[in-house]
Structure 1
Amino acid sequence: MSNTGTAKIALIDSHPLMRECISSYLAGFDYSITLQVGDGKELIDQLTKENVPDVCLLEFNARKKNGYDIIKMLRSSCPNMKIAIYSMQTGPVENKIPSGADVIIPDQISIADFKSTLDNLIQRQPFVAS
């Protein structure tokens, strides 16, 4: 976490509306949404030593690359960054910790549990959200 105590979050979602909704929601808490992009390549292109986030929140079923490819790119370029994956589509994201993500946020999770999952990720080891 950054020196200010505010967790820095990068948000990857190919849907601008979802990015804005998630960003607006999290901005009301102790999070700083430092980067919002449509795909993993955009994030990699925008990362510098000064703006590496604590957590990358990744919509797993992005249009340009699948989540596995994005996670592989992120692990290579930012090995200490935590990765949380989610999907608004039922199915393939469930139980995919082997993907390299630190946590999976299921599609049926409540908004309160979504935030709680991020809080736990910042403070704990890999797990699957309930």
Structure 2
Amino acid sequence: MICKLLLVDDHSLIRAGVRALVSDIPGYTVVGEGNDGNQVAELVLQLDPDIVLLDISMRTTNGLDALTQLRASGCRSKVLILSMHTDPELIMQALESGAHGYLLKDTTATELEQALTALRNGERYLSPAIAHTVINQALLRTQSFKAPTSDNHNLTARQLEILRLIVRGKSTREIAHGLGLSIKTVETHRSQIMKRLQIYDVAGLVLFAVREQIISLDD
């Protein structure tokens, strides 16, 4: 089944660039475009997209306001923020306002496909480049922590080590190289971590690691 996308960005060149990238990804199609946040709700109602690719900074109604409106309307579409902004507070606001993922505009075609696949599968996605920023911001905004115990996570020392690297945005290949493991071994550990925690996306792992104090500002 083809996954329908709606692009909302006030720069026509950005929309054209994203549309070109999407055209090379099997299973996805752009069904509509908008150039301001105030068009989002109406376009979603008309086109019923599976995923909305939404900019934050736009002329009249910004992406955060559009997100709030979509959530209030009971919209079923997933929202992937596509922005140049790396401000941690802004990223957190977007996630708290209902965004299912946050992708930087200098992304590659491969990462765009990864993000779209994650949202299509009911997961969340954060660009690896901003994962550490989000962790730091979450830590700063958390007033108290529940000390981690084996009962909370039931992970081995090696799995905890790999979890820390995952939430810091390291790829499977980077983790394997850094720890002297095979890629297959790291993939197995990653799968076991997600299965034990019942968390199947990086954003969820980040929040878990923060809550359980598995990572810190010094990580």
With the shorter chain as reference, the TM-score category is: 0.7 to 0.9
| 1:94 matched to 2:91 | yes
Per chain length, whose mean CA-contact separation is higher, i.e. which structure has more relative contact order (CA < 8 Å, sep 6+)? 1
The match for 1:44 is 41
3-state SS, counterpart of residue 94 of structure 1: helix
Higher Cα Rg, which structure: 2
Report percent identity of matched pairs: 25
| 1:79 matched to 2:75 | yes
The structure where helix makes up a greater share of residues is: 2
| 1:103 matched to 2:106 | no
Work out whether residues 14 and 62 of structure 1, in 8 Å CA contact, stay in contact via their aligned partners in 2: yes
How far 1:62 moved relative to its partner? Answer: 1.8
* Residues 87/7 of structure 1: CA separation in 2 closer, same or farther (3 Å cut): same
Amino acid at match of 1:124: G
Work out whether residues 40 and 66 of structure 2, in 8 Å CA contact, stay in contact via their aligned partners in 1: no
State the Cα RMSD in Å: 2.1
Unaligned 5+ segments in structure 1 are none
Task: Count residues in correspondence.
Answer: 125
TM-score by length of 1: 0.82
The match for 1:9 is 5
TM-score by length of 2: 0.51
